[in-house]
Chains A and B, each alone.
Chain A
């Protein structure tokens, strides 16, 4: 790989051991993916919950944080994905003091590196949305697919270690979606059933993700005639990334690189697959569970926007969550402040729900919480969450926000 003088100096350790490690890590990854050089990046976003890091990962970060300030501080604005603990509520969730202690150690180390603990996977709605053409090192697949697709930014999926390497160096290997040649559509879908509501958008993302099934394929979607919202795109993108490892989609007429189909592919050579109403029904039906007692209803993954929080509060107005059912609404620390200021969180909690901030359900020791609380049957309006959570021992079902609330009140899936 070609390196400039500053990159050579970082690799030689002249700017400290943390940056030398970062360069070495990026060269390994760059060689794997045939990168010719590194690209400067303007922001990094890191997934680093302690369930993933474990003791070994926390020790690794603490070792970086022990270096002199001049050598350890990140060189570009760097922010964090949701954490595993909301310190105000971890005992309520029956997370342990040991989990909280590990989380505190990780936070101390990240702060020593100069990282802003934003703890959010909706930074594109709340912190600083990237500009079209901006090269980034973003973690969280939902963040990456949204910023690439809806905002026209350039990022690969960067796992925590690679995002950290990018933050320390201000660079990332130039491969994959940093190259225009890799951003054209390779799969084409025609939607015959307009999504209505967030779970429908999630289902559409899941269906297209399943059919695409590769990081290296780019779907283009036609047939949408109703203006999608940011939350619609958020749920579709997060599900597409979750089910298919997809990091970029084009939605004809709505995303910036696809004003028309010709802008992203040669339509004469790319056959379209239909996504129809029966595909949606089959997708929802694959989870089942109607009539089952419900242990937990979760609104999370991605964290809720202030608009979703208000929708949820409105649906819960004057209702009471069943005594045997737990209802969690998970949002970012930034939205949580507004939600409290507007009285939204208070309305959710008056109905028996619990508002959590700065975490995400599946990044929060979900298996241990299931065992400690006796949770098995989970209901959510997030296609991404129901996809992930089965591996943690839950029986998940997918429904609209309205049906999730009705089920939470009834104590069973309606």
Chain B
């Protein structure tokens, strides 16, 4: 496949690439994660028991809870964080947390629902400084 470019709002954090983990569910570091094991722990979450470590995590929006702002920093300090998180629309907390953690984060995609545009397993490059996410490879299954 040729690469697919997805334009979004300018984000925060460094340029990164990795494998996508996608859900149309929402995200909170406090509510949803076992941060020690690096997995989604909330039984009702659509990614329950999945590892998010080093993934390009693609979710719908952020849920309540201000703790995620510190938690992204803490997770990154142990190398147990996603490489990037992409949202349809994020709340202030997660963006603030990404700024402290120096984690790549983007939202507001021009072409619609990012949880449909990117598939789990896609190899994705994220460039927050110019608001660009590129799907580099997609395994046909």
Contacts and interface: CB of A to CB of B under 8 A. Distances in A.
A336 B65 CA distance: 25
Contact of A52 (B26, B41, B43, B71): B71
Nearest to B36: A367
Contact of B66 (A31, A32, A160): A160
Given A388-B31, A393-B41, A157 B93 contact: yes
Nearest to B99: A28
Contacts of A241: 64
Interface residues on chain B, size class: 35 or more
B67 A52 contact: yes
Interface string A241-264: 111111000000000000000000
Nearest to B71: A52
B95 interface: yes
Contact of A157 (B9, B73, B92): B92
A156 B92 contact: yes
Contact of A139 (B45, B66, B95): B66
B74 A161 contact: no
A244 B69 CA distance: 17
A33 B106 CA distance: 11
Interface in B81-104: 89, 91-93, 95-97, 99-100
Contacts of A55: 74, 77
A33 B92 contact: yes
A363 interface: yes
Interface of B is mostly: mixed
A47 B70 CA distance: 9
Given A140-B66, A245-B62, A391-B31, A29 B74 contact: no
Contacts of B9: 32
B120 interface: no
Nearest to B75: A54
A49 B61 CA distance: 24
Contacts of A54: 70-71, 73-74, 77-78
Contacts of B99: 25, 28-29, 32, 161
Interface string B49-80: 00000000000011111111111011011100
A32 B28 CA distance: 19
B10 interface: yes
A157 B69 CA distance: 10
B10 to A, nearest CB: 7
A292 B90 CA distance: 38
A129 to B, nearest CB: 19
B30 interface: yes
Interface of B: 9-12, 26, 28, 30-34, 41-45, 61-71, 73-74, 76-78, 89, 91-93, 95-97, 99-100
Interface of A: 25, 28-29, 31-33, 47-49, 51-57, 60, 81, 139-141, 156-162, 176, 209, 213-216, 241-246, 362-363, 367, 387-388, 390-393
19 contacts: A32-B9, A32-B12, A47-B70, A52-B67, A52-B71, A56-B77, A140-B66, A159-B67, A159-B97, A161-B73, A213-B61, A215-B61, A241-B64, A242-B64, A243-B63, A245-B62, A367-B34, A390-B31, A393-B41
